[in-house]
A and B are shown apart, each in its own frame.
Chain A
Amino acid sequence: MSGDTIGLLADSFMKILIPGLKMTIPLTVLSFSIALFISVLVALIQFADVPVLRQICRFYIWFVRGTPLLVQLYVVFFGLPSVGIMIDAFPAAVLVLGLNEGAYCAETVRSSLEAVPSGQFEAGLCCGMNYAQIMWHVVLPQAFRTAVPPLFNSLISMVKNTSLAANITVVEMFMATQRIVGRTYRAMPLYLEVAFIYLIFSTALSWLQRWCEKRLNHYGGV
């Protein structure tokens, strides 16, 4: 590697990392919180078989999973203003990423709820507990443990999906890199550099996943 490339990488590192810390991470954290909230709600509605709401949830999942994330971003950011709804780039990205991942996570959470043996619920009934008490103390904690690995999958892919927000003018890591490339015409080292930073973020999340699984494993295999 030439000294000039090393200098470029060193100069640009903070310029890419800082938007990563200031934009990519908050975007991920906010969007994923929304996704988790939506997914638990949608999964519980389906699990409890609430009429009408259940159909709405199915429609939401069908729609979101059936359309590209990039198209969804464009519809919200470039499409909605034409019907009078203006949303700034960052909140638009949070909203779309959250709604998008929420649909996938909802299926994860629903299948984890269904994987809890029915005897667990029945035992709760026989202890005099009501639906909400059984869900809260018994079914949800067990489902959550099953859901942790696939939810981390979703979280990690969300970190990477935040790069699509560059398309709607959010200056996150990838957009920041593109700008430096625009000035320096050094695409290869700079895009590899940003790839490397994404890799660091994902690796940290994999560690976090392992730690969470270990903590949740205290009651052993089912």
Chain B
Amino acid sequence: MAMLEIRNIRKSFGENTVLKDISFGVDKGDVISVLGPSGSGKTTLLRCMDFLETADSGIMVFDGEEIDLAKASRARQSEVRKKCGFVFQNYNLFLNKTALDNVTLGLTSARKINSAEARERGMEMLRKVGLERRADRYPNQLSGGQQQRVAIARALAAVPEIIYFDEPTSALDPELIGEVLSVMRALAEDGMTMVVVTHEMGFARDVSSRVMLIEHGLIVEEGSARDFFENPREERTRAFLRRDQNN
């Protein structure tokens, strides 16, 4: 049975229907790349899955527990969120906190872990992303790539079952993309379950176990990374891949 399953998620903003009817499952250890043109609803999908937006309808089954995405209570939402990490396109590090405090704040405040233990775990996470020497820096004293790695450390610190990434490298200068991708690659090798919205075809092809193409709020094609790239079923997928090659 899938660790996480999304069934028939729908979401509109006013007249604009962004997610029409999307269903998919995530197994433990999966790395799913979500591809799609701009405006196709990828960010909205992730945000609905972490209750940053409220879906109009849809069911989430997480560890066998069914949750109504449209009607989940605050308590339920925060219960689910505690099992998930979220990495934003623009990092969203707490600007008034150092790198280390960014990583530990959720532990000490939301999870009531004592500060010594949180600090230890925080340093361990920063070490994982290669930033233990930047622990006392504030976000504005870090490069974009470093900030995004702190954001990943922050997501990891809570020991989530799954991490959602929303275009984690698209706000970065080209020369900084590699350091973030290699952290993500290491996570994938560690067996972390991840859903990654990305435009990085190399990452999708080499690192993810499965790939999903979304357009106009529907899944165009979904399959193993190998099938998706080498043997796409849909003409639309072939066109998408061709256009990307030309870029």
Residues of A within 8 A of B (CB): 117, 119-120, 122-130, 133, 137-138, 141-142, 145, 218-222
Contacts and interface: CB of A to CB of B under 8 A. Distances in A.
A123 B81 contact: no
A142 B96 contact: yes
B105 A137 contact: yes
Given A126-B50, A126-B85, A128-B158, A137 B109 contact: yes
Given A138-B96, A222-B95, A129 B88 contact: no
Interface string B125-144: 00000000000001111000
B96 A141 contact: yes
Interface residues of B, number: 29
B86 A126 contact: yes
Contact of B84 (A117, A126, A137, A141): A126
B109 A218 contact: no
A127 B105 contact: yes
Interface in B152-196: 154-155, 158
20 contacts: A122-B52, A123-B86, A123-B88, A124-B94, A124-B106, A125-B78, A126-B50, A126-B81, A126-B84, A127-B105, A127-B106, A127-B154, A128-B110, A128-B158, A141-B96, A145-B96, A219-B138, A219-B140, A220-B141, A222-B140
Contacts, number: 73
A122 B78 contact: no
Contact of B138 (A125, A129, A218): A218
Given A119-B88, A220-B141, A222-B140, A130 B93 contact: no
Given A122-B52, A218-B138, A221-B140, A129 B94 contact: no
Nearest to B85: A126
Nearest to A128: B110
A219 B96 contact: yes
Contacts of B88: 119, 122-123
A145 B94 CA distance: 14
Interface centre among A122, A124, A219, A222 (most CB of B within 10 A): A219
Nearest to B108: A137
B57 interface: no
Contact of A220 (B78, B86, B111, B140): B140
B115 interface: no
Contacts of B81: 125-126, 128
Interface of B: 50-52, 78, 81-82, 84-86, 88, 90, 92-97, 105-106, 109-111, 138-141, 154-155, 158
Chain A contact residues: over half helix, strand or loop, or mixed?
Answer: helix
A117 B50 CA distance: 19
B92 A219 contact: no
A48 to B, nearest CB: 13
Contacts of A123: 86, 88, 92-94
Interface centre among A133, A137, A218 (most CB of B within 10 A): A137
Contacts of A219: 95-96, 138-140
A77 B194 CA distance: 67
A71 to B, nearest CB: 41
Contacts of B84: 126
A145 B81 CA distance: 29
Contacts of A133: 109-110
A128 B106 contact: yes
Contact of B105 (A122, A129, A220): A129
A117 B88 CA distance: 13
A134 to B, nearest CB: 9
Nearest to B101: A137
Interface centre among B82, B92, B111, B141 (most CB of A within 10 A): B92
Given A126-B84, A129-B109, 20 more contacts: A119-B90, A122-B88, A123-B92, A123-B94, A124-B94, A125-B51, A125-B81, A126-B85, A126-B86, A127-B158, A129-B105, A137-B97, A137-B105, A138-B105, A218-B138, A219-B139, A219-B140, A220-B140, A220-B141, A221-B140
Contact of A128 (B78, B95, B138): B78
